[in-house]
Amino acid sequence: MRCPKCGCDESKVVDSRPSENNDAIRRRRECIECGFRFTTYERREELPLVVVKKDGHREPFDRQKPMRGLITAAVKRDIPLEVLEGVIESIESEQRDSGKTEVTSEEIGKAILKRLAEIDKVAYVRFASVYRDFKDVDEFTEEIRSLSQ
């Protein structure tokens, strides 16, 4: 591992432990040449997760897209950003752990709705109104009715 200070190729591992969310190994290193200490992270190489959109085209999973939808749904709600990030993290992990390399946008939307129903019902209805593309008030009312049962 190259030292970020002097560029030396040799360093020794001083400490090694799992990262905070257990998705990597955090290593503290010390440069053999100059003694500078720095941190590296070791992660397993993952295949890209591909999202199949409604029109059939495919694109790489971009966690910022569902996150924007969650943030919009949670406006003026008392939901910490960490909780919303956890929703996206759990969905991404669930898909990767299943061994699938492709997931439909519909599956992602349903997974978000499932988690939002447990977190905040108003945010759920807001997200559902966009995700399900309600055509009229009756569809919206039916969704609220099903949520309160």
What's this model's pTM, rounded to 2 decimal places?
A: 0.65
Cβ atoms < 10 Å from Cβ of 16 = 12
Residue 98: phi and psi, rounded to 5, are -75, -15
Residue 11: phi and psi, rounded to 5, are -150, 165
pLDDT digits (tens, 9 = 90+) for 76-110: 999 999 999 999 988 988 888 888 889 999 999 99
Which pair of structure tokens corresponds to residue 94? 């669930």
**Contact at 8 Å (CB) between 96 and 108?**
no
pLDDT digits (tens, 9 = 90+) for 125-138: 889 888 777 777 88
